Amino acid sequence: MDKGMFDLDDSLLKDDASDIGKDLELADVLCMREQFDRALSIYNKILDKDMKNEGAYVGILKVHSEYFTKFDSPEIEKDIRIIERMFPDIKNKEYANYCLERKKYLESNNNSKKVETVKEKEKSVKKDIPAVNNDNDEIYTKKFKDAVSLFVSNEFSKALNLLKEVTDGYEKNLFDNKKVSKAVGFNNVAVACYYRMALCCEKILDNSNAIRYFGLAKTLATLKDVDYYWIYFCIGNVHFYNKNYELAIDSYLVAFGSGNYESDYYKLAWSYDKLKKYDLAKKAYERFLFNDNNIGKTNYGWAWYSYGNLYYYGEGVPVNKTKAKEMFRNAVKYGYENAKKYI
- Asked if the model's pLDDT at residue 191 lies above 60, the reply is yes
CA gap 196, 231 in Å, rounded? 11
Specify the pLDDT at position 50: 83
pLDDT at 326: 95
Q: pLDDT: is 57 or 1 the higher one?
A: 57
Question: What gap in Å lies between CA 75 and CA 63, rounded to an integer?
Answer: 10
Identity of the highest mean pLDDT range in 12-16, 114-118, 324-328: 324-328
User: Looking at residues 248-255, what average pLDDT do you find?
Assistant: 87
**CATH of 10-115 among 3.90.550, 3.40.50, 1.10.287, 1.25.40:** 1.25.40
Give the whole-angstrom CA distance, residue 303 versus residue 58.
33
What percent of the chain is predicted at pLDDT more than 90?
24
Tell which residue, 58, 170, 203, 188, has the closest CA to residue 122. Answer: 188
Domain boundaries, the chain: 10-115, 119-226, 254-343
- What pLDDT score does 172 carry? 57
**120 vs 73, which has greater pLDDT?**
73
Q: Which residues contact 215 (CB under 8 A, 6 or more apart)?
A: 235
CA distance 89 to 128: 25
Inter-residue contact 51 to 39 (CB < 8 Å): no
The residues near 44 (Cβ < 8 Å, ≥ 6 apart) are 56, 60
Q: Say how far apart CA 314 and CA 332 lie, in whole Å.
A: 21
**What architecture is the 119-226 domain classified under in CATH?**
Alpha Horseshoe (1.25)
Rounded CA separation 220/185 (Å): 6
How is 164-204 classified by DSSP, letter by letter?
A: HHHHHHHHHHHHHTTS-TTGGGG-HHHHHHHHHHHHHHHHT
Per-residue pLDDT band at 261 (split at 50, 70, 90): confident
Chain mean pLDDT for the chain: 77
Q: Among 12-26, 41-55, 107-121, 226-240, which is the least confidently predicted range?
A: 107-121
Do the domains at 119-226 and 254-343 have one common CATH topology? yes
Give pLDDT tens digits for 287-323: 999 998 989 888 999 999 999 999 999 999 999 999 9
70: DSSP letter: -
Nearest CA-CA partner of 182 in 167, 204, 165, 161: 167
Over the range 269-289, which residues count as b (16 or more CB within 10 Å of their CB) and which as e? bbbbbeeebbebbbbbbbbbb
Inter-axis angle of helices 321-333 and 300-313, nearest 10: 170
User: Is the per-residue pLDDT at 122 higher than 50?
Assistant: no
Burial call 127-151: b when 16+ CB within 10 Å, e when fewer? eeeeebeeeeeeebeebbebbeebb
User: Looking at the domain that runs over 254-343, which CATH code has it been given?
Assistant: 1.25.40.10
Q: Give the integer Cα–Cα distance in Å for 267 and 249.
A: 9
pLDDT the model gives residue 221 = 59
